[in-house]
Chain A
Amino acid sequence: NAGVTQTPKFQVLKTGQSMTLQCAQDMNHNSMYWYRQDPGMGLRLIYYSASEGTTDKGEVPNGYNVSRLNKREFSLRLESAAPSQTSVYFCASSEVGRGLTLHFGNGTRLTVT
């Protein structure tokens, strides 16, 4: 019963490098999300995908791109990493409905030096 799986768990990048964070869910959920969590600021939405084939910007999309590869997978790409992108990144999924209950992965801790 894996739920939401994120890879990698940890990553260190130098300024200007690129990388892709991977996320997969096995709950057959339609919607998927990428959040970042910074101390004292709470979780902030970067991008979301309401359903396969669609993506929308969240609160803090600048510097990121996403791809909804299929119903299971939603990736987050940093094209040119900056120190301000040092954070913990969480992927989540949800079913369509009134409650919007999010199921989170265990995060990727990214440090940009």
Chain B
Amino acid sequence: EDQVTQSPEALRLQEGESSSLNCSYTVSGLRGLFWYRQDPGKGPEFLFTLYSAGEEKEKERLKATLTKKESFLHITAPKPEDSATYLCAVISSGSARQLTFGSGTQLTVLP
């Protein structure tokens, strides 16, 4: 059974204070790891897909990295508009179209 654990559950940062969110996973044959951003009252919005260990993707102040056991979402010099819940999900070789989601990290960036 695929499992995804995200930490911390909540994170408060000052504007400009860089940090990282963690996503640990257990799967039998990783096909892909996904990061989504979710704003209150909205559906998740796709950020990145990572396919293999060592891969990195960047978008503005966000950078996602992947190892064989975990992924990190690095946030450099965050701004208040980066405040959101960040979700991690995986899909494995045995799970057809079923993504397994973590419960998310709620990020608050204070001005």
Contacts and interface: CB of A to CB of B under 8 A. Distances in A.
B43 A100 contact: no
A82 B46 CA distance: 31
Contacts of A104: 43-45
Contact of A99 (B32, B42, B104): B32
Most buried by A among B36, B46, B104: B46
Given A42-B4, A42-B104, A43-B87, A101 B46 contact: yes
B24 to A, nearest CB: 14
A58 B96 CA distance: 10
A57 B76 CA distance: 40
B46 A102 contact: yes
Interface residues of A, number: 27
Interface in A82-113: 90, 92, 94, 98-107
Interface in A14-56: 31, 33, 40-45, 48, 50, 56
Interface residues of B, number: 25
B98 A107 contact: no
A4 interface: yes
Nearest to A101: B46
B49 A43 contact: no
A7 to B, nearest CB: 14
A40 B85 CA distance: 12
Interface in B53-111: 87, 89, 91, 96-104
B2 to A, nearest CB: 10
Given A41-B103, A98-B32, A33 B97 contact: yes
Interface of A: 4, 31, 33, 40-45, 48, 50, 56, 58-59, 90, 92, 94, 98-107
14 contacts: A33-B97, A40-B103, A42-B102, A43-B44, A43-B99, A56-B96, A59-B98, A94-B97, A99-B49, A100-B31, A102-B99, A105-B43, A106-B41, A107-B42
